[in-house]
Amino acid sequence: MRFPRFLRTARAFALAASVPVVVTTLPGDVPCCELSYRVTPDPEAGDVEVALEIHGFRGDTLVLTRPSARPLVGLIGRDPEVEGVRRSRWGLRDGQPQWSFSRPAEGWEDPIRVRYRLSITSRRPLNAWSVGLDRDLLYAPSEALFLLPAMPELAARNAAVRVRWELPRGWRSFTGWSGDAFHGTRQLLKTNILAGDIEHREASACGLEIDIAVYGEWTFDPATIAGDLARLACVARARLGPPRADRYAVTLVPARFPMTSGNRNGPNAIGFVHLLPDGSPPPTRLLAHEIVHQWQRFDAAMWFQEGVNDYMGLRLANEAGLIGDERMAQILGGIDSVYRAHPRRDNWSFADEEREAQPFGPSDEYLGYRKGALVGLALDRELRLRTGGEIDLATLWREMNKRTAWGHVRWSDAEISSRAAALAGGSLDRFFAHYVDGTGTLAAPERLLANLPPAPTSPARPRGLGAVAAFLEFGAPRLSP
């Protein structure tokens, strides 16, 4: 059914009224919408049927995209079909598969009905992102599974979209978002879908609630992970400021072959896919890396978003007492040797790499990850040395987070450099020209760690991080129905 324009506007207002949060920021000229997904699995066939309804769309071309260019081994989808609309044109944009549908002569239906199918093979090992459909479990970063209308305007404004999930009984989506509202389309479908017997644990720490959902049999006690995450969250809060949300959903699911992988799924959900032959839990470094992502309220280039993030994770794990100084130096030493052995170390800047390198390889293959971590350490050192320990990388991080309050998320390298310079009280042009825009070789981590002024005392932790343990509380494990 199509509504006259004024009625559709009225409907948009009605929708806005029913979602109290941020829908008011949705600009009138964004051609979208409200989405609802119905998910129907057929475990015997390894198929998942998805029916998507798009309400309130009014653009000329409907572009459905899988917002990930990551190739997914073992995932074959049937092309989406839109009811009453001619077949789509298929294409790739920046590696992301997308299907375009033109507006029919008589206009769009409302809602627009889309159907497509995912076929998940179980015959071969699935890739590191572990898309899997077992008898009663579907686990995947949903960017891989769910198509969504491409709405660059919406993504740019980080505006809210309302999403409804109709999942089979016993399935749960771990978005951590409240009220089913997502912001922008880049993060729109960052969610995990889990089903089956899930053991839940709750930990609260420093005002944060962490809900850990554990699936499968493990040879270690998943409560250890709850405790470690809680400690990391406390330190992150003290160092990086208030979190965007005070509740996290963390999932731990088994991989099908030896690997370990972490995955941030929206601002308050984290997934770990893990299987190591010796039965050890996911490493502290991985837990810390993912937790620190939850304190990133900005977008930046890979060297900062991932590399500097990795260093910050190690630093916080060290401050939380989860890894000692020696272990931290050892891990940084490992990162350094990967960096030094990188074949492009002397000719690729970070920007060159983002342009030239094949995407989605293991993180060891990217200077952005490994050199980026060392640039994080060097930048932390630079800031502390110049200010006698008054300012550090965490100060810069908090400044970068602050700007999201005004809807400004993206930080260019030049902006990071000038903010760092403002904090340090002097230009960082040389540092950035050498290590970020250039291919200058970083000093070895033991040198970068030597004589480092202590980090500033954070105003958020007057009693010191030793008090962290006092904030931790753990609920008893329970099994979901």
Least CB distance to Zn ion at residue 197 (A): 29
Least CB distance to Zn ion at residue 438 (A): 24
- Of the candidates 81, 18, 30, 27, the residue with the CA atom closest to the CA atom of residue 57: 30
Judged by beta carbon, residue 175 or residue 305, the one nearer Zn ion is 305
Q: Which residues, numbered 253-312, are part of the site for Zn ion (CB under 5 A)?
A: 306
Overall residue count recorded for the chain in this entry: 481
Q: Which residues, numbered 390-429, are part of the site for Zn ion (CB under 5 A)?
A: none
Judged by beta carbon, residue 101 or residue 350, the one nearer Zn ion is 350
Least CB distance to Zn ion at residue 309 (A): 6
Judged by beta carbon, residue 151 or residue 287, the one nearer Zn ion is 287
Identity of residue 99: W
- Across-strand partners of 378? none
Residue 458 CA to residue 229 CA, distance in Å, equals 20
Q: What does the per-residue mask of binding to Zn ion show for 427-466, with x meaning CB under 5 A?
A: ----------------------------------------
Q: Which residues, numbered 317-336, are part of the site for Zn ion (CB under 5 A)?
A: none
Nearest residue to Zn ion by CB is 306
Least CB distance to Zn ion at residue 464 (A): 29
User: How far out from the chain centre does Cα 449 lie?
Assistant: 29
Judged by beta carbon, residue 306 or residue 399, the one nearer Zn ion is 306
Judged by beta carbon, residue 310 or residue 380, the one nearer Zn ion is 310
Q: Which residues, numbered 84-123, are part of the site for Zn ion (CB under 5 A)?
A: none
| Contact indicator for 139, 193 with CB cutoff of 8 Å | yes
| Contact indicator for 133, 256 with CB cutoff of 8 Å | no
Identity of residue 280: S
Judged by beta carbon, residue 53 or residue 306, the one nearer Zn ion is 306
Least CB distance to Zn ion at residue 291 (A): 11
Residue 294 CA to residue 320 CA, distance in Å, equals 17
Least CB distance to Zn ion at residue 306 (A): 5
Residue 146 CA to residue 116 CA, distance in Å, equals 9
Residue 330 CA to residue 336 CA, distance in Å, equals 10
Judged by beta carbon, residue 48 or residue 308, the one nearer Zn ion is 308
- Across-strand partners of 50? 39, 116
Least CB distance to Zn ion at residue 353 (A): 16
| Contact indicator for 139, 265 with CB cutoff of 8 Å | no
Q: Exposure pattern of 286-295 as b/e (b: 16+ CB <10 Å)?
A: bbbbbbbbbb
| Contact indicator for 44, 94 with CB cutoff of 8 Å | no
Least CB distance to Zn ion at residue 289 (A): 6
Judged by beta carbon, residue 64 or residue 240, the one nearer Zn ion is 240
Judged by beta carbon, residue 134 or residue 306, the one nearer Zn ion is 306
Q: How does DSSP classify residue 461?
A: -
Judged by beta carbon, residue 306 or residue 392, the one nearer Zn ion is 306
Residue 10: partners with Cβ closer than 8 Å, 6 or more residues away: none
Identity of residue 408: H
Judged by beta carbon, residue 306 or residue 382, the one nearer Zn ion is 306
Q: What angle do CA 419, 421, 423 make, to 5 degrees?
A: 70
How many residues of this chain interact with Zn ion, rule: CB under 5 A? 1
Residue 247 CA to residue 323 CA, distance in Å, equals 25
3-state secondary structure of 202: strand
Least CB distance to Zn ion at residue 369 (A): 8
Peptide linkage before 33 cis (omega within 30 of 0): yes
Q: How does DSSP classify residue 141?
A: B
Least CB distance to Zn ion at residue 305 (A): 7
Least CB distance to Zn ion at residue 381 (A): 22
| Contact indicator for 211, 200 with CB cutoff of 8 Å | yes
Q: Which helix (H) or strand (E) holds 316?
A: helix 309-319
Judged by beta carbon, residue 108 or residue 304, the one nearer Zn ion is 304
Least CB distance to Zn ion at residue 286 (A): 9
Instruction: Tell me the C-alpha to C-alpha distance, in Å, between residue 293 and each of 94, 233, 259, 413, 435.
Output: 24, 11, 20, 18, 23
Provide the binding-site residues for Zn ion, judged by CB under 5 A: 306
